[in-house]
Amino acid sequence: MKGVPRIVIATMGIDQHENGAIAVQRMLLESQMFVSYMGVFNTPAQVAAHAEKVGAHVVGISCHSWEYLTLVPRLIADIRSRGLDCRVVIGGSIITSKDAEEMIEKGVDGVFDARASQNEIVDAIRDLAKCDSK
């Protein structure tokens, strides 16, 4: 797949913490990726529909409440039911290593905790998007 990586970033449920999502959006934009930021209070169905609309390669979910344990698997199911070839990553300061393992078992392609560096995030997203942006 050639072109610019297309990324959707969102927060789902009642989680209102968006500073991290906005910071990641900016770092991906500065790395020459297309980023569509959906903001807060989204449902899995809304995120999947938006990913389909913009042709996303990767969906990034900001997680700062434990709702992600329920909502992210629903998002993955919604993405799969639409037949999208789209990867899902999550990030946030509250993700425990046990929860990260559980999310990967349920289909999440990448987990970034508060220690993740900008280079680590950008490189992982580029790799998951499988785009040749050169």
**How much is the pLDDT for 78?**
98
Please report the pLDDT score of residue 38 as a whole number.
Answer: 97
More confident: 1 or 64:
64
- 119 to each of 1, 7, 37, 40, 106, how far by Cα in Å? 22, 16, 20, 25, 26
DSSP 7-20: EEEEEBTT----HH
Can you give the pLDDT at residue 1?
Answer: 44
- d(CA 58, CA 48) in angstroms, rounded, equals 11
Number of domains composing the chain: 1
pLDDT at site 66: 85
Q: Facing residues of 87 across strands? A: 58
pTM exceeding the 0.85 threshold for the entire prediction: yes
Q: Does residue 117 lie within any of the structural domains? A: yes
Residue 40, SS3? coil
Give me the CATH number covering residue 116: 3.40.50.280
Give me the mean pLDDT over the 2-26 stretch.
92
* pLDDT at 101 (0 to 100): 96
Structural domain includes residue 64: yes
Number of H helices, E strands in the chain: 5, 5
